[in-house]
Amino acid sequence: MVVFPNTFSASVFLIVLAVWFPVTVMTSSGIANVRNSFFEVAKTLGADRKYLIFKVAIPAAYPNIFIGLFMGMGSSFLTLIVGEMLGVKAGLGWYINWAQGWAELHKVYASLILMAVMFSSF
Amino acid sequence: MVNSRKVDSGKLEIKNVGRTFLDVKGNEIVALKDASLIVNEGEFVSLVGPSGCGKSTLLRLIAGLDTPSLGEVLLDGTPISGPGYERGLVFQDPTLFPWLNVKNNVASGLVARKVYNKKENEVQDYINLVGLTGFENSYPHQLSGGMAQRVALARALVNHPKVLLLDEPLGALDAFTRMQMQDEILRIWQERQTTVVLVTHDIDEAIYMSDRIVIMTPRPGKIQETIKVEIGRPRRRNDPDFFKIRSKILEILHFAKEEQLSYYL
């Protein structure tokens, strides 16, 4: 209650945590797996540290970084729905709960289908 | 065309160089023992020998990617302390940056040294020099092995290295592409007059290309003998003198023996 006075900031924190983890892990493993010979070639071409980081390590790790970003996107939606169902007063997750309260199951199913369609593209 | 200024430096002095590694158990493994060699300006020297003889280790020491345990390596009298653009290196694997096209791969040395703005026009010259005109915008995965190796060569040459270090650059190519590339490297070498150190498994390649052949033997890796190839250039691959040098090298490496030494051991 002290750190996160309302459910909105608490949800933001949870989503940040859910995104941060896969992005960080995939980025670091991507950079750790860059072939050493790329660095060696760059060094014999006269590269400094800055070049090695920004023009070799990061581009070489792009595939992994993007996987991390996509995983983060998936988990962020998941956490968003959880946040909406538990306290936030807006969004599809909240709407499902609300429609459920009125026993309007067609609305519940409609939002479930809407969610499936929207999130499947990511 | 390419500015073919004569490179009037590029003398390598390798003085009593040794390199030992530690294995997992902490035992010392001598990869290179007491190697001494002088490579003169503009000379083409090949290092040949079976695997484990330390020839790649020696090349990495010259490139500055590794530091000697003993002795020192000098370029034009200055000790080599780390990798630098004046010693261009081409590996067996082209190691092109897959996220850059041919033009940007060749330019990467200039970009790394922050001189790209001044020397942008040279990139095209070197692409032409290695015969890849028209492929500037291709990406490495679209190139054949020989073409990729040409790009790697152009990338090393664009920095005007004093010494060109070739670590089995043609090892992965088929026989015909390899012969073609040998001629190409010789042409570039004669045009640019850089010092070249070539590591190779292929004795014929060494004889065809080099001024001197350094023969190395394993366990511990050391320089066994240096042979001068006194055949005029341009050389013919079917020159009878080739065979003499070839058999001499095989003898030094104990591959020309009638009986196998291992029978008695």
Q: Are residues A36 and A65 in the same domain?
A: yes
pTM for the whole structure: 0.81
Chain A: residue whose CA lies nearest to B115 = A46
How high is the mean pLDDT of chain B? Answer: 86
Q: Are residues A58 and A18 in the same domain?
A: yes
Mutate to test the interface with A, among B66, B81, B85, B104 (most CBs of A within 10 A): B85
Centre a 10 Å sphere on the Cβ of residue B154 and count the other Cβ atoms it contains. Answer: 26
Q: Are residues A95 and A68 in the same domain?
A: no
- Rounded CA-CA distance B110/B102 in Å is 14
Are B72 and B56 a contacting pair, CB within 8 Å? no
- Rounded CA-CA distance B229/B206 in Å is 9
Verify cis geometry, omega within 30 degrees of 0, for the bond prior to B234: yes
Give phi and psi for B185, each to the nearest 5.
Answer: -65, -40
Q: What is the pLDDT of residues B76-133, one digit of tens each?
A: 888 888 898 889 999 988 899 999 999 999 999 898 888 888 888 888 988 988 888 8
CB contact under 8 A, A45 and B82: no
From the list A41, A48, A51, the residue facing B89 with the nearest CB is A41
Q: What is the pLDDT of residues B19-35, one digit of tens each?
A: 988 888 888 888 888 88
CB contact under 8 A, A56 and B63: no
Q: Are residues A41 and A94 in the same domain?
A: no
Q: Are residues A105 and A74 in the same domain?
A: no
Q: Are residues A26 and A74 in the same domain?
A: yes
Q: Are residues A52 and A96 in the same domain?
A: no
Interface contact B97, partner A, CB < 8 A: yes
- Rounded CA-CA distance A32/A65 in Å is 12
Domain locations in chain B as residue ranges? 12-253
pLDDT score of B1: 44
Mutate to test the interface with B, among A36, A45, A50, A58 (most CBs of B within 10 A): A45
Q: How large is the average pLDDT for residues B134-142?
A: 92
Q: Tokens in use for A82?
A: 């959880």
Are B78 and B37 a contacting pair, CB within 8 Å? no
- Rounded CA-CA distance B218/B61 in Å is 17
User: Percent of chain A, pLDDT > 90?
Assistant: 54
Residues in chain A with CB shorter than 8 Å from the CB of B109 are 45-46
Complex ipTM above 0.90? no
- Rounded CA-CA distance B184/B182 in Å is 5
- Rounded CA-CA distance A43/A47 in Å is 5
Q: Are residues A4 and A49 in the same domain?
A: yes
The total number of residues shown for chain B amounts to: 265
Q: How many structural domains is chain A composed of?
A: 2
Q: Which domain holds residue A19?
A: 1-88
From the list A35, A44, A59, the residue facing B87 with the nearest CB is A44
Give yes or no for residue B8 having a pLDDT over 80.
no
Residues in chain A with CB shorter than 8 Å from the CB of B82 are 43
- Rounded CA-CA distance B7/A89 in Å is 74
Interface contact A57, partner B, CB < 8 A: no
Q: Are residues A36 and A76 in the same domain?
A: yes
**Residues of chain A falling short of pLDDT 70:** 1, 121-122
- Give per-residue burial for B211-243: e unless 16+ CB within 10 Å, then b: bbbbbbbbebbbbeeebebebeeebeeeeeebe
Chain B: residue whose CA lies nearest to A54 = B112
Domain B12-253 has CATH 3.40.50.300: yes
Chain A: residue whose CA lies nearest to B63 = A44
Residues in chain A with CB shorter than 8 Å from the CB of B88 are 44-45
- Residue whose C-alpha is closest to residue B217's, from B34, B51, B71, B56: B51
CB contact under 8 A, A46 and B111: no
CB contact under 8 A, B156 and A48: no
pLDDT score of B81: 87
pLDDT score of B259: 57
DSSP B69: S
Q: Are residues A75 and A97 in the same domain?
A: no
